[in-house]
């Protein structure tokens, strides 16, 4: 885990990095780029010169803070222990492969596979202003993908300890997520260690680290907490530190009326991020089992056994989640009403059946068939089937609630689909995606919008490339203000989010530098009396430049001096002309013409 470095450390790291770039380690690995520094040392990209194509790899140089023999021996033992763990972990397809380890000049180095791709950061919405909020299906798939990795990691007796978007890389070759940076790993049996000082934690990790990790009581479900926070960020667009915390219970308030998530998934996420680790899911396997019920398409009677397991595990002992055996359904059960999705219906209905007396299978099957008709697009048939359930059935209340919910959702879906179509025909691609994202999870409407969404993304990417090209052209001629304007026009749904953020920062920095350059040149020209050139430099400074206010003061000053200088030049010219006219009266007419001409110029 990277640490917050002081000025001395930063200077030391800069000197070290400069010294090692280009160096050949073990006569084989040539360092070509620095990736950053952390508590455990430096990380670099290197090329393997032993192979014809010089493949790239990652080199980690372990930090050595003492040359004492005892310290080096202890570090060597820890180094060898960690490398054995990394070898084992690297056998997983979604964890970087361990390549080699070696010691050279009392320095320890790890060599691992370089994952070509982009960090998950580039896919997550930022402050509800950049990027699209994820839908439930995307979040569930993401959780299942990463939990499968954690299930393997934890099975090897290891806790990652730094799950965050920067450490999840979307691999270019197959689009799969890869978990990187095991520099902070701990053994599950490590026991209680020293407290984790806040100053040693990078900003990018804050918010994802659970409370127990700060006091050295890290558990396997500490990784589950961090993963849950990423999922919530994907759903809400809010980073962990932006979420509100209950001052009495320390629980996180993350769900609002605008959060597009049903109660079942919300309950899963809430249990992943419980403040007390004892109240969380205890293993990745446990979360996987619950999540996979959302995606299974099975008849209700098959799901009841798994539903009972979920109820036993997900029951949370506070006022927000009541005992599932009570007469009044908890918010968890209430939220699992039919209509949000066919699969959510099955799970919700299975739980409802357990809480109450089990209904006849025919009535359960009727509601199941009604849901299938609803998802397929036949609303009237779905309602008719649901209404056929007799009032004495235990399923009847659920069926009535479902009918009302279906009607509301269908109306919303039809309205948003129409809005999406209008936006599509008007080439407003971001509005297309925004409208589609508000359509409830109904298979019929999703299939109707698939082509709209696909074409909108294609056009957004084409628009992005065009705007990027224009931004690059403007930057080439140092017109950074125009370049920034083009970048800001790029839709927030573009997949080039990380690149755009990088270029926004770069061009803004260069624009500030250029503005300062213009100001300095204005000073120089004014110092030699060239106020015309000084004013031209100052007028090139954009309004949002840091030196703009200072430039305006100088612009007023130099403009006044420019006018005084022009008046003095005119007076001098007039005196010279009068002297000439007095000597030669024949040129008086020509003189008057010249005076009139000067007056006209001044008026212009």
In tens, the pLDDT along 119-166 reads: 898 888 865 555 578 888 899 999 999 999 999 999 888 888 889 998
- Residue 489 located in a structural domain: no
Q: Supply the pLDDT for residue 79.
A: 77
* Whether residue 214 is found in the same domain as residue 247: yes
10 Å Cβ neighbour count for 414? 13
- Residue 380 located in a structural domain: no
The enclosing domain of 219 has a CATH number of 1.10.510.10
* Whether residue 282 is found in the same domain as residue 140: yes
* Whether residue 15 is found in the same domain as residue 102: yes
Which of 516, 345, 524, 349 lies closest to 441, judged by CA?
345
In contact, 500 and 486? CB cutoff 8 Å: no
Which of 332, 315, 246 lies closest to 279, judged by CA?
315
End-to-end Cα separation, the chain, in angstroms = 66
Q: Supply the pLDDT for residue 340.
A: 27
Q: In the structure encoding, which two tokens stand for residue 600, read together?
A: 């006209």
Whole-prediction pTM:
0.49
Number of independent structural domains in the chain: 3
* Whether residue 235 is found in the same domain as residue 274: yes
* Whether residue 152 is found in the same domain as residue 224: yes
* Whether residue 128 is found in the same domain as residue 249: yes
* Whether residue 289 is found in the same domain as residue 143: yes
Question: Is 162 one of the catalytic residues?
Answer: yes
Give tens-digit pLDDT for 111-120.
999 999 898 9
* Whether residue 128 is found in the same domain as residue 254: yes
Q: Which helix (H) or strand (E) holds 45?
A: strand 41-48
- Residue 33 located in a structural domain: yes
* Whether residue 263 is found in the same domain as residue 197: yes
* Whether residue 133 is found in the same domain as residue 263: yes
Give the domain-ending residue among 71, 88, 114.
114
- Residue 317 located in a structural domain: no
Query: Residue 434, SS3?
Result: helix
In contact, 264 and 348? CB cutoff 8 Å: yes
Lowest mean pLDDT among 41-45, 104-108, 342-346, 385-389: 342-346
- Residue 409 located in a structural domain: no
Beta strands, E only, 49-106 = 56-62, 98-104
- Residue 249 located in a structural domain: yes
Cα 318 to Cα 19: distance, rounded to the nearest angstrom: 57
Please report, rounded to a whole number, the percentage of residues in the chain having pLDDT higher than 70.
75
Q: In the structure encoding, which two tokens stand for residue 373, read together?
A: 């008709």
- Residue 505 located in a structural domain: no
Q: In the structure encoding, which two tokens stand for residue 284, read together?
A: 């990745």
Give tens-digit pLDDT for 300-349.
333 344 444 444 444 443 434 333 333 333 333 333 322 222 233 223 32
The values of phi and psi at residue 179, to 5°, are -90, 120
The values of phi and psi at residue 225, to 5°, are -55, -50
Q: Supply the pLDDT for residue 395.
A: 76
Give the domain-ending residue among 295, 315, 340.
295
pLDDT greater than 70 at residue 18 = no
Is 60 annotated in a binding site? The answer is yes
Give the domain-ending residue among 240, 262, 295.
295
* Whether residue 69 is found in the same domain as residue 103: yes
* Whether residue 243 is found in the same domain as residue 110: no
Active-site residue, from 9, 48, 50, 162: 162
Domain housing 552 = 516-603
């Amino acid at each position: 885990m990277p640490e917050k470095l002081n000025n001395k450390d930063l200077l030391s790291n800069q000197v070290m990095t400069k010294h090692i770039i280009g160096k050949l380690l073990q006569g084989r690995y040539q360092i070509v780029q620095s990736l950053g520094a952390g508590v455990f040392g430096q990380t670099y990209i290197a090329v393997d010169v032993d192979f014809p194509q010089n493949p790239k790899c990652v080199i980690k140089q372990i930090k050595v803070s003492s040359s004492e023999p005892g310290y080096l021996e202890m570090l060597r033992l820890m180094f060898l222990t960690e490398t054995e763990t990394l070898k084992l972990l690297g056998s997983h397809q979604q964890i970087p492969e361990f390549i080699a380890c070696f010691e050279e000049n009392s320095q320890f180095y790890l060599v691992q596979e370089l994952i070509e791709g982009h960090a998950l950061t580039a896919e997550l919405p930022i402050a509800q202003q950049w990027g699209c909020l994820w839908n439930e299906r995307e979040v569930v798939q993401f959780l299942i993908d990463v939990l499968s990795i954690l299930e393997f990691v934890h099975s090897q007796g290891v806790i990652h300890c730094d799950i965050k978007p920067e450490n999840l890389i979307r691999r270019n070759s197959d689009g799969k997520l890869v978990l990187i940076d095991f520099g902070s790993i701990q053994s599950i049996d490590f026991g209680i260690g020293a407290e984790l000082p806040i100053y040693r934690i990078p900003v990018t990790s804050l918010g994802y680290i659970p409370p127990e990790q700060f006091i050295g009581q890290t558990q396997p479900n500490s990784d589950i907490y961090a993963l849950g926070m990423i999922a919530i960020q994907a759903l809400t667009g809010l980073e962990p530190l932006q979420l509100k915390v209950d001052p009495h219970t320390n629980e996180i308030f993350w769900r609002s009326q605008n959060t597009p998530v049903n109660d079942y998934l919300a309950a899963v996420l809430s249990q992943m991020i419980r403040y007390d680790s004892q109240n969380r899911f205890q293993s990745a396997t446990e979360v996987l089992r619950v999540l996979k019920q959302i995606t299974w398409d099975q008849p209700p009677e098959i799901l009841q056994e798994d539903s009972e397991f979920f109820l036993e595990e997900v029951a949370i002992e506070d006022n927000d989640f009541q005992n599932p055996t009570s007469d009044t359904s908890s918010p968890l059960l209430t939220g699992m009403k039919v209509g949000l999705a066919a699969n959510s219906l099955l799970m919700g209905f299975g739980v409802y059946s357990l809480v109450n007396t089990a209904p006849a299978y025919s009535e359960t099957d009727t509601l199941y068939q009604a849901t299938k008709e609803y998802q397929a697009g036949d609303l009237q048939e779905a309602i008719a089937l649901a209404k056929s359930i007799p009032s004495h059935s235990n399923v009847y209340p659920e069926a009535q609630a479902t009918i009302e919910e279906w009607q509301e959702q269908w109306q919303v879906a039809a309205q948003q689909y129409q809005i999406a179509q209008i936006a599509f025909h008007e080439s407003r691609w971001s509005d297309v995606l925004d409208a589609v994202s508000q359509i409830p999870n109904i298979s019929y409407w999703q299939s109707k919008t698939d082509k709209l969404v696909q074409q909108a993304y294609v056009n957004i990417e084409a628009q992005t490339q065009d705007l990027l090209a224009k931004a690059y052209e403007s930057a080439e001629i140092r017109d950074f203000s125009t370049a920034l304007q083009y970048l800001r026009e790029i839709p927030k749904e573009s997949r080039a989010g990380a690149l755009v953020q990088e270029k926004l920062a770069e061009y803004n920095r260069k624009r500030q530098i250029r503005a300062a350059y213009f100001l300095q040149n204005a000073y120089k020209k004014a110092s030699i009396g060239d106020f015309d050139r000084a004013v031209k430099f100052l007028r090139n400074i954009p309004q949002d430049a840091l030196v703009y206010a200072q430039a305006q003061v100088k612009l007023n000053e130099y403009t006044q001096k420019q006018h005084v200088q022009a008046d003095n030049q005119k007076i001098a010219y007039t005196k010279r002309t009068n002297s000439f006219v007095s000597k030669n009266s024949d040129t008086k007419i020509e003189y008057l013409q010249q005076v009139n001409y000067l007056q006209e110029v001044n008026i212009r």
